Amino acid sequence: MPGEAELWRDAIILDTGDAFSDVNQQQGDRVANAIATAELLVDRYNVEGVRAQNIGERDLALGRAALESLKARAKYPFVTTNLVDAESGKPLFSRFELIEVARGGKRVKLAIFGLLTARPQPTLEADKLKILPPVEAMKSALADAKAQGAEVVIVLSQLLARDEAELGDAFPEVQLFLGGDSMGMSPDAEIAGKALSFAGSQKGKHVGFLKLTFGAAGGPGASFSDPQAKQSIERKRAEAQRRIDTYQRMLEEAAKPVAPVAPVEPARPRKVPTEVYERQLASAKAELQLANDALAAMGANEAAAGGKTDTNQVSLELIPLSREVVDDPEVKSLVDEFRKKWPDLTPGH
């Protein structure tokens, strides 16, 4: 086991995206405020040693000029694989970043990609930008990264779940998705092709600490497994089955004839929300199918490992940001001074 110093030496700080803006469109006084806040964030990222940052769809609200200025300010790369100039087709930022980490006395090359879902954004046309379909952009970028010796493939994701699944199926080399275009706050992994997908957390409340352990079986490019994932998926499957049983029983009860209230009165019609029950039943069946598919994919990955236990493993811990972090004297002084000129415009502050 490496010592604590070695663990921290190989710790990598990554931002999965949407750090600069919490909305898709900034207007009025909020534009300058958001840009100033982003500059402060980049300056702190420089100090803390961030290694790569994805640009998400909300970050685009700052405008192309501001993002390019922020990139020039940053001492680390913005990695956004499928954001390009609409006219030339050239990437606006880095398509990927190669980072080396230690593994048993050797060095392993991680390839860090950044992707966002291709859909209309308010600023794209004005800024002459285009979001390429993730699979299209990843094809050439992944080939180039592998040619440069990439062994582990990680995607900083601002993708919808369906896009992660499509990408995971198209590129078995992809091992991990980090982030995702959701408000998820769970340490449990989802299955996306042969990859594992870890959601981020609600902004400003938690930091995700991801631990990678490289086993001897299959090498660093082999699939990762999450020791907790199977139990989590089995819990989801059991919950989905419970919901199915509940709504099927409710629909059966709703279909039964209603007895008269009294012998002298006719039966009163009973209005039962059967459409709601049917929608909930369909939703539960879909969740059950997803859980079954995930367990099947996990079983296939285990079979591919040939029963070997010394495989690559990954785990995510969501660490809550305590008041002690907020009130760190250096950070508090910096923020207090900043707020004298740039007040927090968030509603309720």
Residue type, 122: P
* pLDDT tens digit sequence for 48-107: 899 999 999 999 999 999 999 999 999 999 999 999 999 999 999 999 999 998 776 788
Region 17-29: mean pLDDT is 82
Length of the chain: 349
Give the global pTM. 0.77
Domain boundaries, the chain: 4-223+307-336, 231-257+268-300
pLDDT given for residue 259 in this prediction: 62
Single out the residue of 302, 316, 344, 348 nearest to residue 154, CA to CA: 316
Which position has the higher pLDDT, 348 or 48?
A: 48
Q: Which residues contact 50 (CB under 8 A, 6 or more apart)?
A: 13, 14, 15, 76
Q: Which residues contact 133 (CB under 8 A, 6 or more apart)?
A: 82, 118
CA–CA dist 45, 12 (Å, integer): 12
Q: Kindly tell me if the per-residue pLDDT of 144 is higher than 70.
A: yes
Per-residue confidence at 253, pLDDT binned at 50, 70, 90? confident
pLDDT given for residue 292 in this prediction: 85
* pLDDT tens digit sequence for 108-117: 899 999 999 9
SS3 for 232?
Answer: helix
Helix (H), strand (E) at residue 174: strand 174-179
- The crossing angle, in degrees rounded to 10, of helices 64-73 and 29-48 is 20
**What's the CATH architecture for 4-223+307-336?**
4-Layer Sandwich (3.60)
Per-residue confidence at 120, pLDDT binned at 50, 70, 90? confident
Question: Six-digit token pair at 1?
Answer: 């086991």
Per-residue confidence at 323, pLDDT binned at 50, 70, 90? low
Q: What is the average pLDDT value for the chain, to the nearest integer?
A: 83
Question: Which residues is 191 bridged to in the sheet?
Answer: 196
pLDDT given for residue 255 in this prediction: 82
